[in-house]
Amino acid sequence: MPITFTLDVEDHRPGPHAELRFPMVTRQILEWLGGLGARGTFFIVGEEARRHPDLVADIAKAGHEIALHGLRHVPLAEIDPTKLAGELREGRELLEQLGQVTVTGFRAPQFSLTRQCPGAPDAIAEAGFAYSSSVLPNASPLYGFPGAPGGPFSWPSGLIELPVTLLGAGKARVPLGGLYFRSLPLGVTKKLLLAADQTVQWLYLHPYDFDPREKMYVVRDANPIFSPLQWLNRSKVRERVEALFAGAPGLPLGERVRELAALPVYAG
């Protein structure tokens, strides 16, 4: 089954004292994907788009789908529910202006669409999005939605949800992306993907996952002991992605949504 490449374009630094690297690395990723003939979906934080408008334009010109990763990189539950739709609409319109494209996709920072923010699917739809890839349908150290469907579904609002692709079985399932993708042996990842039953499979990564030269620091939401894991196997990410694509990467998520037939409705 083809796997879609997705990139969360965000500034993950602990503060302005750290070197700003993600715009440069994102452009390196664009060049690499161009060489592979691959197109993906780039979920961009609105505030970073405003700071780096040329980067949004470059992503769009390279033929990739532009989607929103929140106006700000904060979990949905930390945003005033009465202001969420307006904030997301502002982010969508900003990306459309900078990229000169129509933006239909949204991904919540940290996959934070959970039962703790029941009004979020309605707000996302109200803001003009056709689909979301914001649900991690399993228990998670940060934000999970145990019990949510593992395959594409529709919220009552009509918003289509493309849940995180999970590997494994039961509570031991892990997402296809980030640290999990860098740390699991590639052979194990491929074997688990064969057993996965999602009809739309996608890989998520960040610019820093491709950046072994970034100076180490203590990561937010981590500690000095576990922070070095965020640098594990960064130098191997490109070759692992290429092996995962096997010469046939999936289309951007917005295009895959248009191919879906009628979906089950899930109210949460």
pLDDT score recorded for residue 218: 79
Q: Which of 59, 74, 68 is nearest to 93 (CA)?
A: 68
Q: Residue 247 pLDDT > 90, yes or no?
A: no
Strand partners, 42: 7, 66
Could you give the domains of the chain? 3-258 (3.20.20.370)
**Three-class SS state of 131:** strand
Better-scored residue on pLDDT, 13 or 47? 47
Q: How far apart are the first and last CA of the chain?
A: 28
Q: Residue 239 pLDDT > 90, yes or no?
A: yes
Mean pLDDT, rounded, for 112-129? 97
pLDDT score recorded for residue 223: 66
Q: For the whole model, what pTM was predicted? A: 0.96
Mean pLDDT, rounded, for 141-169? 94
DSSP characters for 184-203?
S-HHHHHHHHHH---SSEEE
